Amino acid sequence: MPSLESIANDVKAILIDVRSHTSDTKVNTAATAANVTQLNATCQAGFANLAAGMAVQISLLNQTNQMLFINEKQNETIICWLRNIANVLCDIKYNTKSEVELQKIIAGILDHLDKIFELVHSREAMEVLKHDELQGKIEVCCPPEKPKREPCFKECDAPHVPDYKPRDDKWEPVKYQTQKDK
């Protein structure tokens, strides 16, 4: 049977081991706490960077949306003008076609009447030719006023486009301390 002194020495050795292990655990716990604190600081800096970056993105998206709205209004104006141009061209086409047909008929009738008139009234026809020649010279000298042209369509509304001013969103990521910086 072991002696009381031997048991006491064994208990003492065990207590020294427990104290040593407790000290090691305390050091390890302190290192873990420091690492958790560093991780927390890194996460906070990361979230701050993410929030600031997203704020810049939102600002730029708002500016993009505003510019797209202006572009849409400009496109509507362009489409309005193109519609007016198409309508005017369509009117011109149909009017021109009917006018050409009418002018051909009138030219034939006038040519026929001219020939009859010259045969019946040859002396008067010569006077008319002289009068027309004189009138032509007068018009070269003093041309008559031309009538003012009327607008042939309604003007399209054009949106006011403000000058492009890009936003000055200066953004720098938040610096955070790493283990290497310590």
DSSP per-residue codes, 10-55: HHHHHHHHHHHHHHHHHHHHHHHHHHHHHHHHHHHHHHHHHHHHHH
State the pLDDT at residue 171. 67
CA 159/CA 141 separation, integer angstroms: 47
Nearest CA to 159 out of 69, 86, 91 is that of 69
To the nearest whole percent, how much of the chain has pLDDT over 70?
A: 90
State the pLDDT at residue 181. 62
Write out pLDDT tens, residues 117-136: 888 888 888 888 899 999 98
Own/partner contacts of 104-107, CB < 8 Å, gap of 24 or more, are: none
CA 114/CA 144 separation, integer angstroms: 26
Q: Count Cβ atoms below 10 Å from residue 49 Cβ, excluding itself.
A: 16
Q: Is the sign of the CA dihedral 39, 41, 44, 47 positive or negative?
A: negative
Does this model's pTM top 0.95?
no
Helix (H, G, I), strand (E, B) or coil at 155: coil
Write out pLDDT tens, residues 131-141: 999 998 888 88
Which single residue is written with the structure tokens 């970056």? 53
